[in-house]
Amino acid sequence: MGHLLDENNRPLAIDTLYLSPLLFPRKPYHALLKDDKLQTEELNNPLNDSIKAMQLFYDEVNAFKELPARLKRIFCSLLYPFPEFQGFFKFNGFSPYPLSGDVIQAEFAEEICSYADLAALIKYYPVELAYTLAMIAAGDSYSITPPWVLRNFPRVENVIKLLLNTPCSAGCSYCEKTLDVHAGLKRIFGYESFRKYNGENLQEAAAEAAIRGKSLLAVFPTGGGKSITFQLPALMAGEAAHGLTVVISPLQSLMKDQVDNLEQIGIADAVTVNGLLSPLERAEALQRVESGLATLLYISPEQLRSRTIEKLLFSRNIVRFVIDEAHCFSAWGQDFRVDYLYIGDFIRELQKAKGNKATIPVSCFTATAKQKVISDIRDYFKKKLDLDLELYATAAARENLHYMVLYKETPEEKYSTLRELIQQKSCPTIVYVSRTKRTAELAEKLISDGFLARPFNGKMDPRDKIANQEAFIRNEIQVIVATPAFGMGVDKKDVRLVVHYDISDSLENYVQEAGRAGREPSQQAECYVLFSDNDLDKHFLLLNQTKLSISEIQQVWKAVKDLTRLRPKVCCSALEIARQAGWNDSLGEVETRVKTAIAALENVGISLRRIAPIR
């Protein structure tokens, strides 16, 4: 804070905090760098602080002098009425003059939409407009608006969207160059056209809807090109509006693969934060998002309950949430993800904390086209966020996949057939089994017979999972043995054989799992199910283990009431609640069953889990 005198000899305050995002938009610092302190707990030195504040102020003065003359006048005219800025302009000898949208259009020709209502923004949101124009003037697609600005001036996000990320129907030069879906597809991915399903332009239509800010539900077959449908709008919004798209997926492996695949084609704008990362890798990923270097963030639904992720998302301009495997909102079974039901609550609370009334759009993707699943997803977002999801669905079959069921009476026959299939096809192969223990057992058996195979399941050490996945991606091994409940999620285009050693738990899940083969439409692939009569008994046993009864939900509710009898709040794990409910905590899936029971209670209005307000 600097102090000067005005023409009446009265103190005139100048606050360097508000000036930094205007004058240093590439790196809008506001905290004084106290590099003279050897230890953080040392007492402040007021003299040194004053000297540094003065140095910062003169840095800002010099930066202002370097601005184009018209931009200086624009800033002055927008900000002069506000005491936070007036002193600075007086110090520099500037006074306001009537400002019109034509002046701004002349300064930012082809950098903003030609038909944006600048007159309304000048009148109602002058500070927000000034900060947005400063970000644009930086000429750096990775510069972002500081979190404190988003917190104090939440309508900045609306102004950014109106100027930079809302295609106009008139077709101005900016929108045609920056927000045209075909130009973006060619510029970013090098493709001339979108994929079609039975002659329908669904991929193009869904991508276009996202670019226009619509919320949508896309039902595409596994391997049907859904990643481009959300990656393209996300990367285009990152370029245009410096915004962040959050992709929520239960498949850690798929997240990693998609980030790696983008890096291979020279796109370094995507990061993932998940349990496979080391602490250093996680810290680096978080820093890239915070600094604006990332425009695509992949996380699991459970991460939304992390305070770190919560604060991170609050600090960025979120342009869209993408929910992959959206059938998890509807599927109650072995692969049900309880935390999917928290997504709508999180988005609502995030919008509320940001003070932004505009709803963040949502894109949902699934390969499950069952009508009940579709209606459940659309009803969920209508109820939680009052969003009407536009539907883009295809019933197109994967014509390059060939399915076959082989009946095998004994385990020996089943294994012998598996070995013969792998040997005959001699290609990258995924073998699905129902239990995590069997992944290692079957992989070891294949290795002993001379095949290059490795296991993959959700209970493995993260380092082993990464190593095995990368070995499969790089074709160092031929076979990966995985559990479908975990979701292999490998985005590998040359898989031409998928074998279900155990039957899948539903037809919808089978379609998705088998769909990991033949992700390149021109490549033929084969999908086999090795079936025996005993498989059905095991299948129904597994389903019964994951089914919750009303009495079990009541037991969890009683356990929670018992734990909070003497205090209003309690912090405990799912296993502690299971023990309090009298459950056998040695049984598999007990944690998921407790979480599912809690989600059922929350769904009927009983609030059990609370996240502290975002600050």
* Structure confidence at residue 615 (pLDDT): 35
pLDDT at 34 over 60: no
Task: Classify residue 93 as left (phi > 0), alpha (psi -120 to 50) or beta.
Answer: left
Closest CA to 152 of 376, 27, 315: 315
- Is residue 73 within a helix (H) or strand (E), and if so which, with residue range? helix 69-79
* Structure confidence at residue 217 (pLDDT): 97
Site of tokens 């018992």 = 562
pTM: 0.79
Beta bridge partners of 273: 299
Average pLDDT over residues 515-539: 82
- Cα separation of 580 and 583, whole Å? 8
* Structure confidence at residue 498 (pLDDT): 94
Closest CA to 33 of 51, 58, 13, 14: 51
Which of the four pLDDT bands, split at 50, 70 and 90, describes residue 39? very low
pLDDT at 3 over 60: no
* Structure confidence at residue 614 (pLDDT): 37
Q: Which has the higher per-residue pLDDT, 294 or 12?
A: 294
Average pLDDT over residues 131-155: 91
* Structure confidence at residue 38 (pLDDT): 41
Average pLDDT over residues 507-524: 81
CA distances from 299 to 21, 118, 339, 509, 570 (A): 29, 37, 12, 22, 27
* Structure confidence at residue 575 (pLDDT): 83
CB 429 within 8 A of CB 488: no
- Cα separation of 141 and 180, whole Å? 18
Please tell me what DSSP assigns to residue 303.
Answer: G
Range from 36-50, 338-352, 447-461, 525-539 carrying the lowest mean pLDDT: 36-50
Q: Model confidence over 483-496: pLDDT tens digits? A: 875 555 566 888 99
Q: Which has the higher per-residue pLDDT, 612 or 372?
A: 372
Which of the four pLDDT bands, split at 50, 70 and 90, describes residue 37? very low
CATH of 401-542, one of 3.90.228.20, 3.40.50.300, 3.40.50.620, 2.40.50.140: 3.40.50.300
* Structure confidence at residue 160 (pLDDT): 96
* Structure confidence at residue 604 (pLDDT): 67
Which of the four pLDDT bands, split at 50, 70 and 90, describes residue 275? confident
CB 212 within 8 A of CB 165: no
CATH class of 180-393: alpha beta
pLDDT at 302 over 60: yes
At CB < 8 A and 24+ separation, what contacts does 547-553 make? Answer: 547/333, 548/593, 548/596, 548/597, 548/600, 552/581, 552/593, 552/597, 553/597, 553/600, 553/601
Which of the four pLDDT bands, split at 50, 70 and 90, describes residue 139? confident
pLDDT at 323 over 70: yes
Which of the four pLDDT bands, split at 50, 70 and 90, describes residue 596? confident
* Structure confidence at residue 52 (pLDDT): 81
Q: Which has the higher per-residue pLDDT, 580 or 295?
A: 295
Which of the four pLDDT bands, split at 50, 70 and 90, describes residue 586? low
Query: Which amino acid is located at 59 in the chain?
Result: D
pLDDT at 540 over 70: no
Cα 489 to the center of its chain, rounded Å: 16
Which of the four pLDDT bands, split at 50, 70 and 90, describes residue 612? very low
pLDDT at 466 over 70: yes
- Is residue 231 within a helix (H) or strand (E), and if so which, with residue range? helix 226-241
Average pLDDT over residues 63-89: 94
* Structure confidence at residue 36 (pLDDT): 46
pLDDT at 242 over 80: yes
* Structure confidence at residue 1 (pLDDT): 43
Closest CA to 255 of 489, 420, 32: 489
- Cα separation of 521 and 496, whole Å? 11
- Is residue 401 within a helix (H) or strand (E), and if so which, with residue range? strand 401-407
CA distances from 119 to 96, 104, 123, 390, 479 (A): 16, 10, 6, 32, 62
Which of the four pLDDT bands, split at 50, 70 and 90, describes residue 599? confident
Q: Which has the higher per-residue pLDDT, 186 or 435?
A: 186
Mean pLDDT score of the chain: 85
pLDDT at 611 over 90: no
CB 238 within 8 A of CB 165: no
* Structure confidence at residue 35 (pLDDT): 47
Beta bridge partners of 432: 482, 500
pLDDT at 359 over 80: yes
Percent of the chain's residues with pLDDT above 90: 52
Sign of the alpha-carbon dihedral angle for 64, 68, 72, 75: negative
- Cα separation of 496 and 498, whole Å? 7
pLDDT at 287 over 50: yes
